[in-house]
Amino acid sequence: MTTEPIRVLLVDDQQLIRLGFRMVLEAEDDIVVIGEAADGREAIAQAAALRPDLVLMDIRMPGLDGIAATEAIVREHPQTRVLVLTTFDLDEYAFGAIRAGASGFLLKDVQRHEMLSALRAVHRGDAALSPRITRMLLEHVTPLLPSSESPSHPDVAAELTDRERDVFLAIGRGLTNSEIAQSLYVSESTVKTHVGRVLAKLGARDRIHAVILAHRLGLVDDAGPLPSEA
């Protein structure tokens, strides 16, 4: 059975950076670059025209920046994932992009294998965030979520089945689909189905939102260790 390649849109105002990323990505059999954009407005237009699986998005660009572009793309095309690029670790711009709907972020000087691993993780529904970044994300993002995203009552997870609740807690701990499958002794495809149902029942925009929600509800011990990256 042939798997369709991951269709990627590259967004960066520097042509040489786009070229570098294109060379790395197109060397992979399971990834194809379907377009490029040099600013936020062009990114939104290209996302609408090409419907990429994933957008590799620079944050700081002249005109419309990557945060605004991410918000528009995620709103109009919820099936498209956005992985943002930043120059500085734990940059406030990166957290702004996460709030806007990005599924993770990477440093621009990331190692080749790390970028490819993150891109594939985001495409299959996992979050491209290390445990350390997850903790920083919770500190930065949770207090800034709009009140409309706050749970209206403490039983927001009451509609979940026991197995869905197990999956929700695992998501909150930062586990990937593969790790959840191993811990619950089920297939990864079964986990993916459960994750989809959990997000729908919680009204969570994406996996990262679910992580934040789990912590806000006190369902995850902030002092407990998060798993190491897969």
CA atoms within 13 A on the CB side of 108: 17
If you search the block for the tokens 């956005």, which residue do you land on? 82
**Cβ neighbour number for residue 116 with a 10 Å cutoff:** 17
Contact status, residue 198 vs residue 163, Cβ threshold 8 Å: no
Contact status, residue 212 vs residue 165, Cβ threshold 8 Å: no
pLDDT category, 150, cuts 50, 70, 90?
very low
> What is the pLDDT at residue 221?
60
Contact status, residue 80 vs residue 73, Cβ threshold 8 Å: yes
pLDDT at residue 215 tops 90: no
User: Is the CATH number of domain 6-139 3.40.50.2300?
Assistant: yes
Topology classification of domain 162-217: Arc Repressor Mutant, subunit A (1.10.10)
pLDDT category, 42, cuts 50, 70, 90?
very high
Range 122-150 average pLDDT: 60
> What is the pLDDT at residue 229?
40
High-pLDDT (> 70) share of the chain, %: 78
CA atoms within 13 A on the CB side of 92: 1
Contact status, residue 106 vs residue 229, Cβ threshold 8 Å: no
Range 127-155 average pLDDT: 55
Q: How far apart are the first and last CA of the chain?
A: 25
The more confidently predicted of residues 204 and 139 is 204
Residues of the chain within CATH 1.10.10.10 domain(s) are: 162-217
> What is the pLDDT at residue 14?
92
Using CA atoms, how far residue 224 sits from 4, 131, 142, 200, 215, in Å, is 38, 11, 18, 27, 12
> What is the pLDDT at residue 6?
95
Which structure tokens are listed for 101? 């709907």
> What is the pLDDT at residue 91?
61
Three-class SS of residue 33? strand
Residues of the chain within CATH 3.40.50.2300 domain(s) are: 6-139
**Cβ neighbour number for residue 40 with a 10 Å cutoff:** 26
